[in-house]
Homo-oligomer: A and B are copies of this chain.
């Protein structure tokens, strides 16, 4: 119907976004099927930056490259659904540590397994299409970009 020959004439941006969206969509589906139907794509912004012992909100926000306010909302969401808690930080009474609950750890276990399966399938697709190590290609390109283009981004250091 779309009359376009395929993905050949799409922009590079679209070609990058499309696999990402499909992977996220499938992960959410699989995690829901495994007993966690209330998990949303944005939850990964928290989960993938959490340290085992707990992490401060501002640190989570910095890692995810977002404001602490937005990260606070995401954490509150996970908290309401029983996947995370905020405990006082013994090192600094201003701060709190965001930690997984037992239910949150169960979720992480399932999510990491499903993600590995999905990533594995796509990595094979990429390899078959000429990119033998897509992860290295993407990570390498990002590093080259940061060196050649000190541009934009966080003015944190």
A15 adjacent to B115 (CB under 8 Å): no
> Within 8 Å of chain B (Cβ to Cβ): is A81?
no
Q: With an 8 A cutoff between CB atoms, is A139 at the interface?
A: yes
Closest to A7 in B: B139
The number of chain A residues touching the other chain, given as a range, is 35 or more
- Known contacts: A2-B62, A17-B20, A63-B4. The answer to whether A129 contacts B152 by CB under 8 A is no
Complex-state Cα separation, A3 to B59, whole angstroms: 10
Cβ of A143 within 8 Å of any chain B Cβ, yes or no, is yes
Residues of A125-147 at the interface with B, using a CB-CB cut-off of 8 Å, are: 125-126, 128-145
Quick check: is A157 within 8 A (CB to CB) of the other chain? yes
Task: Check: A33 CB closer than 8 A to any chain B CB.
Answer: no
Chain B: minimal CB distance from A134 (Å)? 7
* Cross-chain contact B15 with A135 (CB below 8 angstroms): yes
A13 touches B20 (CB 8 A): yes
Of A21-29, A68-76, A87-95, A98-106, the one with at least 4 CB within 8 A of chain B:
A21-29
Residue in A23, A48, A131 whose Cβ sees the most chain B Cβ within 10 Å: A131
Binding site for B on A (CB under 8 A): 1-4, 6-8, 10-20, 22-26, 44, 48, 62-63, 115, 119, 121-123, 125-126, 128-145, 148-149, 151-152, 154, 156-157
Q: List 11 A-B contacts (CB under 8 A).
A: A2-B63, A7-B142, A13-B23, A15-B142, A16-B16, A17-B17, A20-B20, A122-B145, A126-B138, A128-B141, A129-B137
